[in-house]
Amino acid sequence: MTEKYYKCYNADAIVKTNPAELILEQLKTTDSVLRFLSEINADLFNNYIRALVKRLDDELVNYSINTESLNFKSIESEISKLKKNEKLTNLVIRYIAKSLKLPEGSEIPSESIDVTMYNRAFAYERISYYRVKAFTDILDKEKGLELYAKILGKIVTEMHIKSTPNEKETIKMANEGAIKQWCNNGIVDFTFAFIDDNQCIYRFDKCVTHEVLKDLNDPDVAYAASCFIGDIPEFNPGRLIHMRRTQTLHHADFCDELYWDSRKFKDPPKQPSLDFIKKINNKK
């Protein structure tokens, strides 16, 4: 069994980031949440907006950025809900800009700049956290997370409709691509082991997703806002390489992820035990 350990986590790793593109993506995601909320429970729409506005407003005291320097034309048709709420739109833009450490009062760059891996992850993971937290603000935690799960399922289903799987992708290709991305960008410390040619198990000992959220001391909402997307029923359909995990760093000492080529299995393979995963090539 091929196995290897990589110590790649580096909060200060520099990643080329286009702030305008990142902000536009977060505006589209926020609008998707609003759009599906209005479909599922329109009665909560205004209360949710107020809760999200309050969350972001509290984080942005005395920070300003030239929001007029951002060009919305490319996404106008995808932010129908946000276009009707200028304040929330403004807050999303300013929150991402502040998280990326853009100089106060400056224009928003529309070309790639150097950003630390930590700050980039902080920007999109933390705003996702506040989008979810706003649901638990207006409902209790259980009901808030249940509602968000329904919305997330619709978002993922829509994503699949707009994307096409790479028919040439194999487990080996996916593994090589992941290692390159994770190590070049300093994202994780991890171990992987090929169980066979068509399935691979990973153990993550440290991950930027957990690192940028752990100080909030709110693991249930942090998990829902970040890793939960990979655990909902809607995630694997529409993909060729499937994934399943038992736990994440939000609630445990390590995260386990099993990937397999769905074309090679009639039924999903068995998940390796946590004891087995904990022991593979453990160099911590």
The 3-class secondary structure across the chain, one letter per residue, is CCEEEEECCCCCCEEEECHHHHHHHHHHHHHHHHHHHHHHCHHHHHHHHHHHHHHHHHHCCCCCCEHHHCCCHHHHHHCCCHHHCHHHHHHHHHHHHHHCCCCCCCECCCCCEEEEHHHHHHHHHHHHHHHHHHHHHHCCHHHHHHHHHHHHHHHHHHHHHHCCCCCCCCHHHHHHHHHHHHHHCCCEEEEEEEEECCEEEEEEEEEHHHHCCHHHCCHHHHHHHCHHHHCCCCCCCCCCEEEECCCCCCCCCCEEEEEEEHHHCCCCCCCCCHHHHHHCCCCC
What does the pLDDT look like over 261-273, one tens digit per residue? Answer: 999 999 999 999 9
Task: Kindly tell me the sign of the dihedral angle through the C-alpha atoms of 104, 106, 108, 111.
Answer: negative
pLDDT at 2: 73
pLDDT at 165: 87
pLDDT at 282: 66
- Identify residue 172 by its one-letter amino acid code: K
Which residue stretches of the chain have pLDDT < 50? Answer: 284
pLDDT at 283: 58
pTM here is 0.95
